[in-house]
């Protein structure tokens, strides 16, 4: 069973999305590996703070399946980026 890590944009720093137009990014990898690939792919640290009052730029959650992760989603599917394991594996080469 593969797990999925969700990066949920908190809109910190004035409500602007960090990676337009995505509210939610799902990477098919365990949390530690997904964070590594998030940094490589987007040149962003998900733990950065856009401002002191808002906190971290992303909330990070791990799920056992994409179906489970998406069942918690409240956003329009056009604002979701899904990165599958085969795409993550390409970064290792």
pLDDT digits (tens, 9 = 90+) for 70-84: 887 666 777 889 999
| Residue 77 confidence (pLDDT) | 75
Q: Could you tell me the residue range of the domain that residue 47 belongs to?
A: 4-92
Number of domains in the chain: 1
Global pTM reads 0.86
Q: In what order do the strands lie in the sheet with 24-27?
A: 58-63, 4-9, 24-27, 80-83
| pLDDT value at 1 more than 60 | no
Half-sphere exposure of 2 (CA within 13 A, CB side): 15
pLDDT digits (tens, 9 = 90+) for 16-59: 778 888 889 999 999 999 999 999 999 999 988 877 776 788 89
């Amino acid at each position: 069973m593969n797990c999925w890590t969700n990066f949920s944009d908190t809109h910190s720093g004035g409500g602007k999305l960090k990676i337009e137009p995505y509210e939610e990014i799902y990477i098919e990898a365990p949390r530690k590996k997904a964070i590594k690939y998030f940094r490589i792919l987007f040149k962003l640290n998900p733990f950065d703070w856009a401002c002191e009052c808002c906190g971290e730029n992303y909330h990070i959650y791990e799920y056992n399946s994409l179906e489970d992760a998406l069942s918690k989603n409240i956003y329009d599917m056009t604002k979701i980026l899904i990165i599958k394991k085969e795409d993550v594996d390409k970064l290792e080469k």
